[in-house]
A and B are shown apart, each in its own frame.
Chain A
Amino acid sequence: MSVDTATVRRVARLARIALSDEDAEAMRSELNTILGFVEQLGEVEVSSVEPMTSVTPMAMKSRPDVVTDGGIADDVIANAPASDDHYFVVPKVVE
């Protein structure tokens, strides 16, 4: 399977990465090289194989449903590019 430039643009939009026309063209060729490489997986007979969900056999751990931390709003927003009164500030999204 190979991708065209329109597909590259659609995927870039899904991935939220702005691409120039030049970048899109270079990316198309690189992605097709990688997709060409992974195509060999088509040779493997997998119809009766379960997909891996956990690399080591382990039961998901549980813990009591209690609050174990919190009260660290200063820490949470400490690295924010823009914040106000413990809120993250973003461009207006509702008119």
Chain B
Amino acid sequence: MTDLTALTIAEARDALRAKTFSARELTDAYLGAIDAANGALNAYVTVTPDKARAMAETSDGRLAKGEAGALEGIPLGIKDLFATEGVHTQACSHVLDKFEPRYESTVTANLWADGAVMLGKLNMDEFAMGSSNESSYYGPVVSPWRAEGSNADLVPGGSSGGSAAAVAARLCAGATATDTGGSIRQPAAFTGTVGIKPTYGRCSRWGIVAFASSLDQAGPIARDVRDAAILLKSMASTDPKDTTSVDLPVPDYEAAVGRSVKGMRIGIPKEYRVEGMPAEIEALWHQGIEWLRDAGAEIVDVSLPHTKYALPAYYIVAPAEASSNLARYDGVRYGLRVPGRDLIEMYENTRAAGFGREVKRRIMIGTYVLSAGYYDAYYLRAQKVRTLIKRDFETVFAEGVDALLTPATPSPAFGIADQEMNADPVKMYLNDVFTVTVNMAGLPGLAVPAGLSASGLPLGLQIIGRPFDEESLFATASVIEKAAGRFEPAKWW
């Protein structure tokens, strides 16, 4: 039999319904692949084989009765940020030591209701804070990609590094991920996978460990555009348990895959041509523009004048919200407790031992910018800048632009323990320079692989859309995918 893990979700879905193989066989194929690869890649922090097999057998029962859900029997990996009942949920932090929630996140509950199978929990940057998956308490994820002629370990990006690596290395058919400043799109771009951060409010945040509540959104990472559309359809919903969840029906995103872009107006924002951007990224962007033009889209130059202020504003807003959200980890109700002489010292010792370096840094920045006397100078000003960033996009959309095309990242993947990145936190933050604007404005953004760098590593383009117009992103991305082809790493693990 062919390697079942090579199939996309769409292909596996059709084959399961045609009884070409069983859900149990498909799940066993993935569990075998994880067994063989996880020692080298460290993509999963917990594998749940018994649960996976039981869920697959239930799926086989439903398939036999002709009652298959949209994702019946499809094996998925779940980012460790999503609460999964009775299963390791720690946001890859030590402070949530041994935490196993008694409840299920809305997004994962939606996936199981549609018949998906859980393979396990995926590695990530601690509390989703990072762009390289190196801040995880469980150690870095190793990218399945290597530069040509090199054996050096590369990062898969972050914070959804485990999700991206597992999808690229075929250790799951698709994965859940989350994106606060680029955590779906940057790892997708680094690993040759497709990732979409939907509009703020499209996926419920209930049961997802909170980082920055006004920016956090869940979305899928998948092998191709169609699979991303299939997964988002199941993940998205209207949820009374999340007051920011939107009251709009979930469209059939898959129907938009392959839809013509003829007559669409695609904006090219000049501010995304940043200083020091490698020529190959610029060339990739031009190639993307040509592909869309050839497909009948109208290309227009646009300006988003406040783009350069998005990243600094983000590094006030996100840490401020994080410092507040992470106040709950105090050693009282769940997770780690480190004793002290009194209650305050217990809090301080628990948090000192439980949080990693990057998380502490962000809590400290957030606490500082919200502290008495500094609130107006930092937080209030950043929220005003955020209004301007959003206004930039609104102006462009009001002029008739349907979507924007930009590079996804300013470089291909870098090495694990990169000295420059580790010496200067701001260098690491610059990874998100093209993606963070989208979170600040609450818009949908999709990263699609568009080519390889000179060193043979994946490069992605980003498509940014109007609020709740994810369908246009899928349509546009499928044009790029069709022209560029798909990219898969050569197996070395």
> How long is the Cα–Cα vector from A52 to B313 in the complex, in angstroms?
12
Q: Are B340 and A55 in contact (CB under 8 A)?
A: no
Whether A16 pairs with B344 at a CB distance below 8 angstroms is: yes
CB distance from A46 to the nearest CB of B (A): 4
- Which residues of A have CB within 8 Å of B215? 55
Among A27, A37, A42, the one with the most B-chain Cβ atoms within 10 Å of its Cβ is A37
Nearest to A42 among chain B residues (CB) is B381
Interchain CB contact under 8 A, B332 and A31: no
A3 on interface, CB distance cutoff 8 Å? yes
B361 and A90: CB pair below 8 A?
Answer: no
Would A15 and B337 count as touching, CB distance under 8 A?
no
B200 and A88 contact, CB distance less than 8 A: no
A70 CB–B CB distance under 8 Å: no
A33 to B347, CA, bound (A): 27
How distant is B250 from chain A, measured CB to nearest CB, in Å? 16
CB within 8 A of A81: which of B103, B246, B337, B429?
B337
Interface size on A, residues (CB 8 A): 50
A83 to B183, CA, bound (A): 36
A residues less than 8 Å from B371 (CB atoms): 11, 14
Binary interface profile of B, 340-375, with partner A (CB < 8 Å = 1, else 0)? 111111111101100100001101110110010000
Whether A66 is near chain B, meaning CB under 8 Å from some CB there, is: no
Encoded as 1 (CB less than 8 Å from any A CB) or 0, chain B from 94 to 128 comes to 00001111110000000000000000000000000
**In the complex, what distance in Å separates the CA atom of A89 from the CA atom of B155?**
42
- Residue numbers in B under 8 Å from A80 (CB-CB): 332-334
Q: Is the CB of B390 within 8 A of A55?
A: yes
Contact assessment for A31 and B364 in the assembled complex, using a CB-CB cutoff below 8 Å: yes
Complex interface: chain B residues within 8 A of A12 (CB): 364
Contact of A56 among B339, B429, B442 (CB under 8 A): B442
Residues in A with CB closer than 8 Å to B425 are: 30, 33-34
- Closest Cβ neighbor of B365 among chain A residues: A34
Q: How far is the CA of A11 from the CA of B362 in the complex (A)?
A: 12
Q: Report the minimum CB–CB distance from B201 to chain A (whole Å).
A: 5
Chain A residue with the shortest CB-CB distance to B240: A63
- Whether, in the assembled complex, A67 has its beta carbon less than 8 Å from a beta carbon of chain B, the answer is no
Alpha-carbon distance between A93 and B346 when the two chains are bound, in angstroms:
11
Q: Given A34-B425, A46-B388, A58-B201: A15 and B363 within 8 A (CB)?
A: yes
Contact count A vs B, C-beta below 8 Å: 162
Residues of B within 8 A of A50 (CB): 384, 387
Tell me the B149-201 residues at the A interface (CB within 8 Å): 199-201
Residue of B nearest to A40 (CB): B312
Interfacial chain A residues near B367, Cβ < 8 Å: 11, 14-15
Asked whether A56 lies within 8 Å of B364 as measured between CB atoms, the reply is: no
B442 nearest in chain A by CB position: A55
Chain B residue with the shortest CB-CB distance to A7: B368
Whether the pair A52, B330 counts as a contact (CB closer than 8 A) is no
- A72 cross-chain contacts in B, Cβ below 8 A: 102
Bound together, the chains give a CA A39 to CA B311 distance in angstroms of 11
Q: Produce 1/0 per residue, A41-58, CB < 8 A to B.
A: 110101001111111101
- Residues in chain A near residue B327, CB distance under 8 A: 16
Residues of A1-44 whose CB lies within 8 A of B: 1, 3, 7-8, 11-12, 14-19, 27, 30-31, 33-35, 37-42, 44
Whether B351 contacts A37 by the Cβ 8 Å rule is: no
The answer, yes or no, to whether B452 is at the interface (CB within 8 Å) is no
Partner of A46, one of B200, B384, B441: B384
B269 within 8 A of A: no
A selection of 28 A-B contacts at a CB cut-off of 8 Å is A3-B368, A14-B367, A15-B351, A17-B355, A31-B361, A31-B368, A35-B365, A37-B312, A37-B315, A37-B426, A37-B429, A38-B315, A44-B385, A44-B388, A46-B381, A46-B388, A49-B387, A51-B387, A52-B383, A55-B214, A56-B244, A58-B201, A79-B101, A80-B333, A81-B331, A91-B340, A93-B342, A93-B343
* Residues of B bordering A, CB below 8 Å: 98-103, 199-201, 214-215, 240, 243-244, 246, 306, 308-309, 312-313, 315-316, 323, 327, 330-337, 339-349, 351-352, 355, 360-361, 363-365, 367-368, 371, 377-378, 380-388, 390, 424-426, 429, 440-442, 467
Which residues of A are interface residues toward B (Cβ below 8 A)? Answer: 1, 3, 7-8, 11-12, 14-19, 27, 30-31, 33-35, 37-42, 44, 46, 49-56, 58, 60-61, 63, 72, 75, 78-82, 88, 90-93
